Homo-oligomer: A and B are copies of this chain.
Amino acid sequence: MDKQAITRLLEQVASGEVPVEDAVLRLKMQPIQEVDEYAKVDMHRGLRQGVPEVIYGAGKTKEHILGIAKAMLANGQETVLVTRIDAQTAAFLASELPIRYQELAQAGVIGQMPEPSGKGKVVVATGGTSDIPVAEEAAVTAEALGNEVVRLYDVGVSGIHRLLSHIEEIMSARVIVAVAGMEGALPSVIGGLADCPVIAVPTSVGYGASLGGVAALLSMLNSCASGVSVVNIDNGFGAGYMASMINHLD
């Protein structure tokens, strides 16, 4: 709640337009809507046209997801992205709501798919085939948030020719999401080639000393390339969201 809003509210109180009691209520309650007892949905951002609200499905029952989604749609949302849900949950939601589910990404979009509204293209690249599910979570997220996405999969650094043969896509991106497990070197090489921000996503792909993705995470945090920042292991959603935010900057 910014200064203008507070000032305006106080002026309305001063002029008697808004009673004191109501002002207190609005100061405290306005942006939150409770869905039964199990969730407090922040309607703040969602109220702006075209930006879909997101439901993180992991750890929620399918009934709760349905309830939250309905509350969002009822609140005027045109698009609701649901991440980390399996096919069964998607089918449950599909019985009541129009959802396009993408199994590889374990994500679905309820309602209308927005037109691309970003300034440029979001490139999503992966080191290997096994990193694709995480990359798809990023790609679907970015698409649901109104971005055109270019996918470059299986371009890991141990066969540098594969990456170099896509130098054009890399050079023409506005923001790049680089997804890799194992040694996690992809963002460093891409960061050295590209002139745009790179969001690095370590994945839990690997075994033994990959320590569930920690090796790739550390590698990315220590990248010798400039213009690289990192999100949590397997956090395709976070990278797609960040990429969209950057791609929508005026």
B-side contacts of A197, CB under 8 Å? 242, 245-246, 249
**With A and B bound together, what is the CA distance between A11 and B18 in angstroms?**
11
Question: Does A97 sit at the interface, judged by CB under 8 A?
Answer: no
A20-B7, A197-B245 known; A221 and B192 CB under 8 Å?
Answer: no
Residues in B with CB closer than 8 Å to A223 are 158, 182-183
A:65-81 near B, CB below 8 Å: none
Complex CA distance for A81 and B58, rounded to whole angstroms: 30
Question: How many copies of this protein are present in the complex?
Answer: 8
Q: Are B174 and A32 in contact (CB under 8 A)?
A: no
In chain A, positions 48-65 with a C-beta closer than 8 Å to chain B are 54, 58-60, 64
> What residues on B are CB-neighbors of A130 within 8 Å?
58-60
What is the distance, in angstroms, from A34's C-beta to the closest C-beta of chain B? 9
* Most B CB within 10 A of own CB, among A37, A184, A250: A184
User: Does the CB pair B224–A128 fall under 8 Å?
Assistant: yes
Q: Which of A87-95, A108-116, A211-219 contacts B (4 or more CB under 8 A)?
A: A211-219
CB distance from A67 to the nearest CB of B (A): 11
Flag if A227 contacts B245 (CB, 8 Å). yes
State which of B27, B155, B156, B250 has its C-beta within 8 Å of the C-beta of A6.
B27
Is A101 in contact with chain B by the CB < 8 A criterion? Answer: no
Docked-complex contact A238 and B229, CB < 8 angstroms: yes
The answer, among B42, B127, B249, for a CB contact under 8 Å with A162, is B42
**Contact A29 B207, beta carbon cutoff 8 Å:** no
Judge whether A24 and B40 touch: CB under 8 Å. no
Task: Assess the A24–B42 pair: CB atoms within 8 A.
Answer: no
* A183 touching B220, Cβ below 8 Å: yes
Q: Flag if B219 contacts A39 (CB, 8 Å).
A: no
Tell me if B20 and A11 are in contact (CB < 8 A). Answer: yes
Whether B230 and A229, one on each chain, are in contact in the complex, defined by CB atoms closer than 8 angstroms, is: yes
A105 to chain B, nearest CB (A): 15
- Measured between beta carbons, the chain B residues less than 8 angstroms from A242 are 197, 226-229
Provide the A190-227 mask, 1 if CB < 8 A to any CB of B, else 0: 01110111010010111111111111111111111111
Question: What are 19 pairs between A and B in contact, CB < 8 Å?
Answer: A14-B14, A32-B161, A58-B207, A59-B129, A119-B250, A127-B224, A158-B189, A181-B222, A183-B220, A184-B185, A185-B189, A206-B222, A207-B232, A207-B233, A208-B212, A209-B233, A215-B221, A227-B242, A229-B231
